[in-house]
Structure 1
Amino acid sequence: MPALYLSHGAPPLADDPVWPGQLAAWSAGLPRPKAILVVSAHWEEAPLALGATETVPLVYDFWGFPEHYYRVRYEAPGAPALAESVRKLLRGPGTPVQDMPDRGLDHGAYVPLVEMFPGADTPVLQISMPTLDPQRLLAIGRKLAPLRDEGVLIVGSGFFTHNLAALRHVGGGVPGWSVEFDDWGQRALAAADVDALLDFEHKSPAGRLAHPRTEHFAPLFVTLGAAGDEPAHSRSVIDGFWMGLAKRSVQFG
């Protein structure tokens, strides 16, 4: 299976005239996964936690939206066998793995999955990010990489640029910092410059404006680790901007 990093959007993504179709077309071109493993920007928990392995209610981790966004359902099967594989790959001396069986999928997971796998018939497991340190997340991704050979689709779900506070201070159009960071990131990915991506705060233009916190860029490092020797075989499947934020989404392998 390939490994993906996608910009997941907010609940109103479902109403966008273009983006849902882009996500659906992307998934239509993928091999059929046996299971999906998601790392979302919206779940930071240490030690690393495994979410529900049975179907439980979604986590509506957003506020102030119209009521119909809270009625969305995505009742995908749990993935207990995948959870056991993840435990074996990640658990070791000094690296505990915990279980949170009541923790459902948050919007970083289910919002894109509703568009990409609307049948909700593929088992899904979400795991937390135990850190925002790029090197440590890269290492986690490398440990998870063997799952790809077992038919598991590994998905890092974030947003290629993400600074909602700064967006409130600009008028229409796309802010310069979002354009500059997106262009730099596209070139770094095309060059397979993993070192530059890991040090994005210092190597990129407007890095801290594009990501005042790392959480929405951080899932990319899990995906890069899971890509193994394939960073040079990446391609941007989706690009452009949504409400001023870069929605670049990338496939490795």
Structure 2
Amino acid sequence: MSAAAQERMPALYLSHGAPPLADDPIWPGQLAAWSAELPRPKAILMVSAHWEEAPLALGAVRTVSLVYDFWGFPEHYYQVTYAAPGAPELAESVRKLLRAPGTPVQDIPDRGLDHGAYVPLVEMFPAADIPVLQISMPTLDPVRLMEIGRRLAPLRDEGVLIVGSGFFTHNLAALRHTGGGVPAWSSEFDDWGRRALEARDWDALLDFLDKAPAGRYAHPRTEHFAPLFVTMGAADDGAGPAVPESVIDGFWLGMAKRSVQFG
């Protein structure tokens, strides 16, 4: 393994956007600029809001078709490809780190990358030349997800970029009844989340539904915030995660696109 591959990788939580992100005049460039500042990963481990499966599952370890898990979009969004190499070695490492008595790990070999994984990867690593493995979220419980992240943390020392992909606020139903601009529930939650991250207030973040203003409105279902806890766990060096850097902020269609880097 080269010295570059051994460099400890950061852990990321990003807001992934929908397929039309590719047409946004600002966001793709922000993602590309972010990836350009990162060490080159040996492999990428993705945890997406769009794959919940218990027991925890490993997706395809070879290149298979993407999962176009969205409906009603123009046809060209269903023609996007991202033929990244599979990551069988990473899959084996994940099995060893996560499998334990009472904690099974399953394989779903035909499950390709969903849009929570490939939409940001197309912008960040467009050459699709880095092996990618996606794993499922077996639960939405923040404490359990953070523990999964802690168990995956050694991968960072092997050159693996761990990415939790969600959306910092996510209530599509409420947005349908909102006029232009950013709704108060989205901006208030985003500001609270920023301050909690800067203060390393992990207890508040773990209890975000009750501690955050508009917590249950910003996340009526919590799957888009949940990947943050895997990232936080992966960034925990025993004294808790370091203060993350908000690399991307602002709003997209009223939702907070805050994306952060630990390490």
Q: Indicate whether the TM-score tops 0.5.
A: yes
Matched residue, 1:48: 56
CA contact (8 A) 1:181 1:205 kept: yes
1:242 aligns with 2:256: no
Distance 2:257 2:158 in 1: 29
CA distance in 1, matches of 2:42, 2:112: 19
What secondary structure sits across from 1:232 in the alignment?
coil
Detail structure 1 runs of 4+ shifted over 3 Å in the superposition.
none
Please give the per-residue CA displacement for 1:188-241, whole angstroms capped at 9, x wherever unaligned. 000111111000011100000000001000000000000013633310000000
Q: TM-score, normalised by structure 1?
A: 0.99
Following superposition, the deviation at residue 100 of structure 1 comes to 0.3
How many matched pairs?
Answer: 253
What does residue range 96-245 of structure 1 map to in structure 2 within 5 Å?
96-229=104-237, 231-245=241-255
Q: Distance in 1 between matches of 2:212 and 2:230?
A: 19
Q: Residue 121 of structure 1 aligns to a residue in which SS? A: coil
SS at match of 2:76: helix
8 Å contact kept, 1:190–1:232: no
Identity %: 85
Q: 1:15 is matched by which residue type in structure 2?
A: D
Scaled by the length of structure 2, the TM-score of the pair is: 0.96
Name the counterpart of 2:3: none
Cα displacement string for residues 59-104 of structure 1 (whole angstroms, at most 9, x for unaligned residues): 0000000000000000000000000000000000000000000000
Q: Quick check: 2:49–2:166 contact (8 Å CA) kept in 1?
A: yes
Residue 214 of structure 2 aligns with an amino acid whose one-letter code is A
Stretches of structure 2 lacking an aligned partner (at least 5 in a row): 1-8
**For the aligned residues, what is the CA RMSD?**
0.6
Q: What are structure 1's unaligned runs of at least 5 residues?
A: none
In the alignment, the residues of structure 1 paired with residue 198 and residue 243 of structure 2 have an alpha-carbon distance, to the nearest angstrom, of 8
